[in-house]
A = this chain, B = another copy of it.
Amino acid sequence: MGGTKVAAGVVDDAQLTDESQQPTDLSGPEALLDEIATAVDRLVDRHGKPAGIGVGLPSQIDFEAGAVVSSVNIPLEGVPVREQLEHRFGVPVVVDNDANCAALAEASVEGVDHLVMLTLGTGVGGGVVIGGKIFRGAHGLGAELGHFPIQADGPECPGNCPGRGCLEALCSGTALERDATEAGSHVPDSELGERYADDGRVSGREAVEAAERGDATALELFDRLGCYLGVGIAGFVNIFGPQRVAVGGGLSRAHGLFFDRAVEEAGRRSLPRLWERTEVRLAQGGAAAGLIGAGVLAQQEFGDTQNPSQMTNEETSGSHR
Protein backbone atom coordinates (compact mmCIF):
# COMPACT_ATOMS: atom_id res chain seq x y z
CA MET A 1 0.00 0.00 0.00
CA GLY A 2 1.26 3.42 -0.94
CA GLY A 3 -0.07 6.95 -0.73
CA THR A 4 -1.76 6.66 -4.12
CA LYS A 5 -2.66 3.01 -4.69
CA VAL A 6 -3.36 -0.33 -3.11
CA ALA A 7 -1.85 -3.27 -4.98
CA ALA A 8 -2.78 -6.91 -4.41
CA GLY A 9 -1.09 -9.91 -5.97
CA VAL A 10 -1.05 -13.67 -6.24
CA VAL A 11 2.31 -15.03 -5.14
CA ASP A 12 3.54 -18.54 -5.87
CA ASP A 13 7.08 -19.50 -4.87
CA ALA A 14 8.27 -15.88 -4.66
CA GLN A 15 6.80 -15.14 -8.11
CA LEU A 16 4.06 -12.61 -8.71
CA THR A 17 1.59 -14.40 -11.02
CA ASP A 18 -1.31 -11.90 -11.04
CA GLU A 19 -1.87 -8.37 -9.75
CA SER A 20 -4.73 -5.98 -9.12
CA GLN A 21 -4.60 -2.28 -8.25
CA GLN A 22 -6.99 0.14 -6.64
CA PRO A 23 -6.64 3.90 -5.95
CA THR A 24 -6.03 4.62 -2.27
CA ASP A 25 -8.86 6.27 -0.35
CA LEU A 26 -7.17 7.99 2.58
CA SER A 27 -10.34 9.45 4.10
CA GLY A 28 -10.31 6.94 6.97
CA PRO A 29 -9.61 3.38 8.09
CA GLU A 30 -12.91 1.91 6.86
CA ALA A 31 -12.55 3.39 3.38
CA LEU A 32 -8.97 2.16 3.14
CA LEU A 33 -9.85 -1.36 4.27
CA ASP A 34 -12.64 -1.30 1.65
CA GLU A 35 -10.07 -0.53 -1.07
CA ILE A 36 -7.89 -3.41 0.12
CA ALA A 37 -10.96 -5.66 -0.01
CA THR A 38 -11.82 -4.51 -3.54
CA ALA A 39 -8.30 -5.22 -4.80
CA VAL A 40 -8.20 -8.63 -3.14
CA ASP A 41 -11.76 -9.62 -4.15
CA ARG A 42 -10.87 -9.10 -7.78
CA LEU A 43 -8.12 -11.71 -7.43
CA VAL A 44 -10.32 -14.06 -5.42
CA ASP A 45 -12.87 -13.92 -8.27
CA ARG A 46 -10.18 -14.98 -10.72
CA HIS A 47 -8.30 -17.54 -8.62
CA GLY A 48 -10.48 -18.63 -5.70
CA LYS A 49 -9.83 -18.19 -1.99
CA PRO A 50 -6.17 -17.99 -0.98
CA ALA A 51 -4.59 -20.13 1.74
CA GLY A 52 -3.68 -16.92 3.49
CA ILE A 53 -3.10 -13.23 2.94
CA GLY A 54 0.05 -11.27 3.69
CA VAL A 55 -0.20 -7.50 4.06
CA GLY A 56 2.69 -5.03 3.95
CA LEU A 57 1.98 -1.54 5.27
CA PRO A 58 4.10 1.63 5.35
CA SER A 59 3.55 1.77 9.10
CA GLN A 60 4.92 0.60 12.43
CA ILE A 61 3.44 -2.82 13.07
CA ASP A 62 3.04 -4.82 16.25
CA PHE A 63 3.58 -8.18 14.59
CA GLU A 64 2.20 -10.36 17.38
CA ALA A 65 -1.00 -8.31 17.57
CA GLY A 66 -1.29 -7.83 13.79
CA ALA A 67 -2.06 -4.19 14.50
CA VAL A 68 -0.70 -0.83 13.41
CA VAL A 69 1.25 0.95 16.15
CA SER A 70 1.86 4.20 14.32
CA SER A 71 1.31 5.36 10.78
CA VAL A 72 2.21 8.72 9.30
CA ASN A 73 1.11 8.34 5.67
CA ILE A 74 -2.01 6.17 5.81
CA PRO A 75 -4.86 6.41 8.34
CA LEU A 76 -4.53 3.03 10.04
CA GLU A 77 -2.93 4.01 13.36
CA GLY A 78 -4.24 1.79 16.13
CA VAL A 79 -6.27 -0.36 13.70
CA PRO A 80 -6.20 -4.15 14.29
CA VAL A 81 -5.72 -4.82 10.58
CA ARG A 82 -5.22 -8.57 10.87
CA GLU A 83 -8.41 -9.10 12.84
CA GLN A 84 -10.45 -6.92 10.51
CA LEU A 85 -9.19 -8.52 7.31
CA GLU A 86 -9.55 -12.05 8.70
CA HIS A 87 -13.14 -11.17 9.47
CA ARG A 88 -13.70 -9.87 5.91
CA PHE A 89 -12.03 -12.73 4.04
CA GLY A 90 -12.35 -15.74 6.32
CA VAL A 91 -8.74 -16.75 5.77
CA PRO A 92 -5.66 -16.24 7.97
CA VAL A 93 -3.93 -12.88 7.55
CA VAL A 94 -0.43 -11.77 8.51
CA VAL A 95 0.54 -8.08 8.66
CA ASP A 96 4.02 -6.65 8.58
CA ASN A 97 5.91 -3.50 7.74
CA ASP A 98 6.50 -3.08 3.99
CA ALA A 99 10.25 -2.67 4.38
CA ASN A 100 10.34 -6.06 6.13
CA CYS A 101 8.31 -7.50 3.26
CA ALA A 102 10.69 -6.01 0.70
CA ALA A 103 13.67 -7.50 2.52
CA LEU A 104 12.02 -10.92 2.58
CA ALA A 105 11.24 -10.66 -1.14
CA GLU A 106 14.81 -9.69 -1.92
CA ALA A 107 16.16 -12.65 0.06
CA SER A 108 13.67 -15.07 -1.52
CA VAL A 109 14.12 -13.91 -5.08
CA GLU A 110 17.90 -13.83 -4.74
CA GLY A 111 18.10 -17.11 -2.88
CA VAL A 112 19.99 -15.87 0.19
CA ASP A 113 19.13 -16.66 3.83
CA HIS A 114 20.91 -13.82 5.62
CA LEU A 115 20.28 -10.38 4.21
CA VAL A 116 20.27 -6.78 5.34
CA MET A 117 18.17 -4.46 3.21
CA LEU A 118 18.31 -0.68 3.40
CA THR A 119 15.49 1.29 1.84
CA LEU A 120 16.42 4.88 1.04
CA GLY A 121 13.33 7.02 0.61
CA THR A 122 11.90 9.98 2.49
CA GLY A 123 13.36 8.20 5.50
CA VAL A 124 15.70 5.25 5.76
CA GLY A 125 13.96 1.97 6.44
CA GLY A 126 15.18 -1.51 6.27
CA GLY A 127 14.72 -5.11 7.12
CA VAL A 128 16.89 -7.97 8.26
CA VAL A 129 16.40 -11.57 7.17
CA ILE A 130 18.10 -14.17 9.36
CA GLY A 131 17.91 -17.83 8.42
CA GLY A 132 15.29 -17.03 5.79
CA LYS A 133 12.94 -15.31 8.26
CA ILE A 134 12.26 -11.65 8.97
CA PHE A 135 14.00 -10.55 12.17
CA ARG A 136 11.69 -8.45 14.34
CA GLY A 137 13.41 -8.23 17.73
CA ALA A 138 11.98 -9.22 21.07
CA HIS A 139 8.90 -7.04 20.75
CA GLY A 140 7.90 -7.72 17.15
CA LEU A 141 8.51 -4.07 16.34
CA GLY A 142 11.24 -4.70 13.80
CA ALA A 143 14.81 -3.66 13.21
CA GLU A 144 15.02 0.12 12.82
CA LEU A 145 18.14 0.14 10.71
CA GLY A 146 17.70 3.79 9.78
CA HIS A 147 18.12 4.77 13.39
CA PHE A 148 21.60 3.56 14.15
CA PRO A 149 23.69 6.63 14.96
CA ILE A 150 26.80 6.72 12.76
CA GLN A 151 27.86 10.27 13.54
CA ALA A 152 27.11 10.86 17.21
CA ASP A 153 27.36 14.65 16.89
CA GLY A 154 25.56 14.75 13.52
CA PRO A 155 22.33 16.54 12.58
CA GLU A 156 19.04 15.85 14.34
CA CYS A 157 17.13 12.91 12.94
CA PRO A 158 14.21 14.17 10.87
CA GLY A 159 11.77 11.35 11.66
CA ASN A 160 9.94 10.49 14.86
CA CYS A 161 13.33 9.80 16.41
CA PRO A 162 15.02 11.74 19.18
CA GLY A 163 18.50 10.81 17.92
CA ARG A 164 21.23 12.67 16.05
CA GLY A 165 23.43 11.52 13.20
CA CYS A 166 21.33 8.40 12.51
CA LEU A 167 21.57 6.90 9.03
CA GLU A 168 18.20 8.54 8.36
CA ALA A 169 19.61 11.91 9.39
CA LEU A 170 22.39 11.57 6.81
CA CYS A 171 21.25 9.35 3.92
CA SER A 172 17.50 9.93 3.49
CA GLY A 173 15.65 12.00 0.94
CA THR A 174 14.77 14.39 3.76
CA ALA A 175 18.44 14.75 4.70
CA LEU A 176 19.31 15.34 1.05
CA GLU A 177 16.74 18.14 0.77
CA ARG A 178 17.99 19.71 3.98
CA ASP A 179 21.60 19.64 2.79
CA ALA A 180 20.76 20.70 -0.79
CA THR A 181 18.77 23.65 0.52
CA GLU A 182 21.57 24.67 2.83
CA ALA A 183 24.17 24.30 0.07
CA GLY A 184 21.95 26.32 -2.29
CA SER A 185 21.74 29.11 0.25
CA HIS A 186 25.53 29.17 0.64
CA VAL A 187 26.63 28.75 -2.99
CA PRO A 188 24.45 31.08 -5.09
CA ASP A 189 26.42 30.49 -8.31
CA SER A 190 25.74 26.72 -8.29
CA GLU A 191 22.66 25.12 -9.86
CA LEU A 192 21.47 24.41 -6.32
CA GLY A 193 21.88 28.12 -5.66
CA GLU A 194 19.63 28.95 -8.62
CA ARG A 195 16.93 26.55 -7.39
CA TYR A 196 17.24 28.06 -3.95
CA ALA A 197 16.89 31.58 -5.38
CA ASP A 198 13.67 30.46 -7.16
CA ASP A 199 11.90 28.72 -4.28
CA GLY A 200 13.81 29.28 -1.05
CA ARG A 201 14.42 25.53 -1.00
CA VAL A 202 15.91 22.74 -3.12
CA SER A 203 14.05 19.45 -3.52
CA GLY A 204 15.70 16.03 -3.63
CA ARG A 205 14.71 15.68 -7.27
CA GLU A 206 16.34 19.02 -8.11
CA ALA A 207 19.50 17.94 -6.30
CA VAL A 208 19.57 14.70 -8.32
CA GLU A 209 19.08 16.59 -11.59
CA ALA A 210 21.77 19.13 -10.74
CA ALA A 211 24.23 16.38 -9.87
CA GLU A 212 23.42 14.47 -13.04
CA ARG A 213 24.23 17.64 -14.99
CA GLY A 214 27.58 17.80 -13.19
CA ASP A 215 26.95 20.60 -10.69
CA ALA A 216 29.93 20.34 -8.35
CA THR A 217 28.06 21.42 -5.23
CA ALA A 218 25.38 18.82 -5.83
CA LEU A 219 27.93 16.10 -6.61
CA GLU A 220 29.62 16.82 -3.31
CA LEU A 221 26.36 16.21 -1.45
CA PHE A 222 25.97 12.79 -3.06
CA ASP A 223 29.59 11.93 -2.39
CA ARG A 224 28.99 12.62 1.28
CA LEU A 225 25.70 10.72 1.27
CA GLY A 226 27.48 7.74 -0.32
CA CYS A 227 30.27 7.93 2.24
CA TYR A 228 27.84 7.88 5.17
CA LEU A 229 25.83 5.09 3.59
CA GLY A 230 29.07 3.11 3.36
CA VAL A 231 29.77 3.74 7.05
CA GLY A 232 26.34 2.35 7.91
CA ILE A 233 26.79 -0.66 5.63
CA ALA A 234 30.15 -1.40 7.28
CA GLY A 235 28.44 -1.39 10.66
CA PHE A 236 25.74 -3.80 9.48
CA VAL A 237 28.32 -6.08 7.87
CA ASN A 238 30.21 -6.18 11.18
CA ILE A 239 27.26 -6.87 13.45
CA PHE A 240 24.98 -9.01 11.26
CA GLY A 241 27.61 -10.88 9.22
CA PRO A 242 25.13 -11.18 6.31
CA GLN A 243 25.58 -12.83 2.93
CA ARG A 244 24.07 -9.83 1.19
CA VAL A 245 23.41 -6.16 1.78
CA ALA A 246 20.78 -4.79 -0.61
CA VAL A 247 20.13 -1.10 -1.15
CA GLY A 248 16.73 -0.08 -2.49
CA GLY A 249 14.07 2.59 -2.15
CA GLY A 250 13.17 5.60 -4.28
CA LEU A 251 16.45 7.40 -3.73
CA SER A 252 18.35 4.35 -5.04
CA ARG A 253 17.07 5.20 -8.52
CA ALA A 254 19.83 7.82 -8.41
CA HIS A 255 22.35 5.14 -7.44
CA GLY A 256 24.82 6.29 -10.11
CA LEU A 257 25.49 9.31 -7.90
CA PHE A 258 26.46 7.54 -4.68
CA PHE A 259 26.36 3.74 -4.74
CA ASP A 260 29.96 3.09 -5.83
CA ARG A 261 31.16 5.55 -3.21
CA ALA A 262 29.13 3.70 -0.58
CA VAL A 263 30.58 0.30 -1.50
CA GLU A 264 34.10 1.74 -1.51
CA GLU A 265 33.67 3.25 1.95
CA ALA A 266 32.03 0.11 3.33
CA GLY A 267 34.90 -2.00 2.05
CA ARG A 268 37.42 0.32 3.61
CA ARG A 269 35.81 0.11 7.05
CA SER A 270 34.37 -3.41 7.38
CA LEU A 271 36.20 -6.21 9.14
CA PRO A 272 37.98 -7.96 6.25
CA ARG A 273 36.92 -11.52 7.15
CA LEU A 274 33.28 -10.43 7.07
CA TRP A 275 33.55 -8.07 4.11
CA GLU A 276 35.01 -10.77 1.87
CA ARG A 277 31.94 -12.93 2.57
CA THR A 278 29.39 -10.18 1.89
CA GLU A 279 28.00 -8.94 -1.40
CA VAL A 280 26.62 -5.39 -1.48
CA ARG A 281 24.15 -4.86 -4.32
CA LEU A 282 21.30 -2.70 -5.43
CA ALA A 283 17.98 -4.34 -4.57
CA GLN A 284 16.72 -6.43 -7.46
CA GLY A 285 13.11 -6.72 -6.32
CA GLY A 286 11.87 -3.52 -7.94
CA ALA A 287 8.42 -2.08 -7.48
CA ALA A 288 6.79 -5.45 -6.80
CA ALA A 289 9.12 -6.34 -3.91
CA GLY A 290 6.61 -5.40 -1.21
CA LEU A 291 3.88 -7.50 -2.84
CA ILE A 292 6.13 -10.50 -3.33
CA GLY A 293 7.46 -10.28 0.21
CA ALA A 294 3.96 -10.12 1.70
CA GLY A 295 3.13 -13.25 -0.32
CA VAL A 296 6.27 -15.08 0.81
CA LEU A 297 5.47 -14.13 4.40
CA ALA A 298 1.96 -15.56 4.06
CA GLN A 299 3.44 -18.71 2.57
CA GLN A 300 5.88 -19.03 5.50
CA GLU A 301 3.11 -18.46 8.03
CA PHE A 302 0.29 -20.46 6.47
CA GLY A 303 1.81 -22.67 3.78
CA ASP A 304 3.00 -26.21 4.36
CA THR A 305 6.54 -25.42 5.47
CA GLN A 306 7.21 -28.52 7.52
CA ASN A 307 9.01 -30.15 4.64
CA PRO A 308 10.04 -27.33 2.34
CA SER A 309 12.13 -29.56 0.08
CA GLN A 310 8.96 -31.32 -0.96
CA MET A 311 6.92 -28.18 -1.53
CA THR A 312 4.74 -28.10 -4.58
CA ASN A 313 2.87 -25.12 -5.86
CA GLU A 314 -0.44 -26.69 -5.00
CA GLU A 315 0.48 -27.28 -1.39
CA THR A 316 2.23 -24.05 -0.64
CA SER A 317 1.11 -21.23 -2.87
CA GLY A 318 1.84 -18.03 -0.98
CA SER A 319 -1.56 -16.46 -1.08
CA HIS A 320 -3.58 -18.76 -3.29
CA ARG A 321 -4.69 -22.36 -2.88
Q: Which residues on A are within 8 Å of B, measured CB to CB?
A: 60, 69-70, 113-114, 128, 130, 135-139, 141-145, 147-153, 160-164, 227-228, 231, 234-235, 238-243, 268-274, 277
Tell me the minimal C-beta distance from A225 to chain B in angstroms.
12
Contact A137 B240 (CB under 8 A): yes
In the bound complex, CA of A270 to CA of B143 (Å): 12
Contact B273 A138 (CB under 8 A): no
Contact B274 A239 (CB under 8 A): no
Chain B residue contacts of A138, Cβ below 8 A: 113-114, 240-243, 277
Known: A139-B274, A162-B269. 17 other contacts (CB 8 A): A69-B273, A114-B138, A141-B241, A141-B274, A141-B277, A143-B241, A145-B239, A147-B238, A147-B239, A149-B150, A149-B269, A150-B150, A150-B151, A152-B231, A162-B272, A163-B234, A164-B269
Tell me the minimal C-beta distance from A295 to chain B in angstroms.
24
In the bound complex, CA of A137 to CA of B271 (Å): 14
Chain B residue contacts of A147, Cβ below 8 A: 235, 238-239, 271
Query: What are 17 A-to-B residue pairs whose CB atoms are below 8 Å?
Result: A60-B273, A114-B137, A114-B138, A138-B240, A138-B242, A138-B277, A139-B243, A143-B240, A147-B271, A149-B234, A150-B151, A151-B153, A152-B227, A152-B228, A152-B231, A162-B268, A163-B269
Closest to A242 in B: B138
Chain B residue contacts of A235, Cβ below 8 A: 147-149
In the bound complex, CA of A277 to CA of B142 (Å): 13
In the bound complex, CA of A234 to CA of B147 (Å): 9
Top 7 closest pairs, chain A to chain B, by CB: A137-B241, A114-B138, A148-B235, A147-B238, A163-B269, A144-B238, A152-B231
In the bound complex, CA of A321 to CA of B143 (Å): 40
Contact A239 B162 (CB under 8 A): no
Q: Which of A139, A227, A238, A241 has the most chain B CB atoms closer than 10 A to its own CB?
A: A238
Q: Which of A69, A139, A242, A272 has the most chain B CB atoms closer than 10 A to its own CB?
A: A139
